Amino acid sequence: MPQNTQVLLDNRPVGEALASNFKLVSSDTPELKDGQVLVQHHYLSLDPYMRGRMNDSKSYAVPQALGQTMGGGTAGVVIESKNAKFAVGDTVVGMGGWQQYSVVDADQVGALRKVDTTHVPLSAYLGAVGMPGVTAWHGLVKIIEPKAGETMVVSAATGAVGSAFAALSKARGCRTVGIAGGPDKCKYAVDELVFDACIDYKLHADAQSLGKAVREACPAGVDGYFENVGGMVLDAVLSNMNAFGRIAVCGMIAGYNGAPLPMTYPALILMSRLKIQGFIVSEHMEIWPEALKELGSMVATGQLRARESIAQGLEAAPEAFLGLLKGKNFGKQLVKLI
């Protein structure tokens, strides 16, 4: 069995997460038992939700245990199998974590999924045709419930979730506006991700200024909003929501370092009779097949061309993750392990 390199959570962050919170170790890979498979990871997914799990506090996810391998989505190849459902050479996705190899009890429901890389690249199964894409699909289709001609807005517009949201929203005939950080990301959003407009939040010092920019980009108001950021961005969009608007709350990355994110005008929720619903996509597994079918078709046909930021080698994972939290990534953040 191969020697395995892993990244552990060594200590919990106080305020901002640091590279010193992580520890790189090596260990022997255990022998397989009946029903298990050994997966060599080709790609590791880095996602904002991981920051919340680093804290030992109430959250929507169980805290990451200290001294244990950081959890996370992986895509790779089966290199040894003692399970009749999986053969050596199968391409698979799962939650293998921040390590080069994982031993998986493959009979557990949802532990490992075979994927077809004929028309969809393996890495896409951690982004557009994986959890981020399904997250965008659920928030748009099941919570916002868009109608053709309505205006949709998404924050963190050029990330893995925002990219998928744009394609799905445009396919439903909606005016689609993104909010992103920096001119390069906004240009990419309009030129390649087919957003009708993109607002650079870095040009605005407060919610009032950003709200004016949202108003200019959404002259008919905002009917649906997909929230990834919170804080000033949420305040800016709230002031532009139409009556009976719908907001799907997926993330609050602006507050992941522990800073509170108060809403400036919560009365707008009542005044505009808004529906605001938070969700965790892993609690809605029943929608995954339908969502993945549409997303896979979009990637295969070029309707969805999501960009990837790829760090090389497991040892690069901590710094790449910290960069993700600061918006340094351009598209889906991955770590290439081989």
- Which tens digit of pLDDT belongs to each residue from 135-187? 999 999 999 999 999 999 999 999 999 999 999 999 999 999 999 999 999 99
Taking 3-state DSSP, the helix, strand and coil percentages for the chain, each rounded to the nearest 5, stand at 30, 25, 40
Alpha helices in 138-246 (DSSP H): 160-171, 183-191, 207-217, 232-238
User: Burial, 289: exposed, middle or buried (Cβ in 10 Å; 0-12, 13-18, 19+)?
Assistant: exposed
Q: Given this model, what pLDDT does residue 176 score?
A: 98
Q: Given this model, what pLDDT does residue 258 score?
A: 67
Give the distance from CA 261 to its chain's centroid. 20
Give this prediction's pTM: 0.91
- Please give the single-letter amino acid code of residue 78: V
Beta-bridge partners for 104: 37
Q: Given this model, what pLDDT does residue 253 score?
A: 83
Q: Given this model, what pLDDT does residue 241 score?
A: 98
Taking all residues of the chain, what is their mean pLDDT, rounded to a whole number?
A: 95
3-state secondary structure of 275: strand
- Please give the single-letter amino acid code of residue 83: N
Tokens 């597994």 correspond to what residue? 285
Cβ proximity of 143 and 277 under 8 Å: yes
Cβ proximity of 193 and 169 under 8 Å: no
The domains of the chain, with CATH numbers, are: 3-127+306-336 (3.90.180.10), 131-282 (3.40.50.720)
3-state secondary structure of 206: coil
pLDDT per residue rounded down to tens, the chain (338 residues): 899 999 999 999 998 999 999 999 999 999 999 999 999 999 999 998 899 899 987 666 789 999 999 999 999 999 999 999 999 999 999 999 999 999 999 999 889 999 999 999 999 999 999 999 999 999 999 999 999 999 999 999 999 999 999 999 999 999 999 999 999 999 999 999 999 999 999 999 999 999 999 999 999 999 999 999 999 999 999 999 999 999 999 988 877 766 778 899 999 999 999 999 999 999 999 999 999 999 999 999 999 988 999 999 999 999 999 999 988 888 899 999 99
Measured between its terminal Cα atoms, the distance across the chain in Å is 17
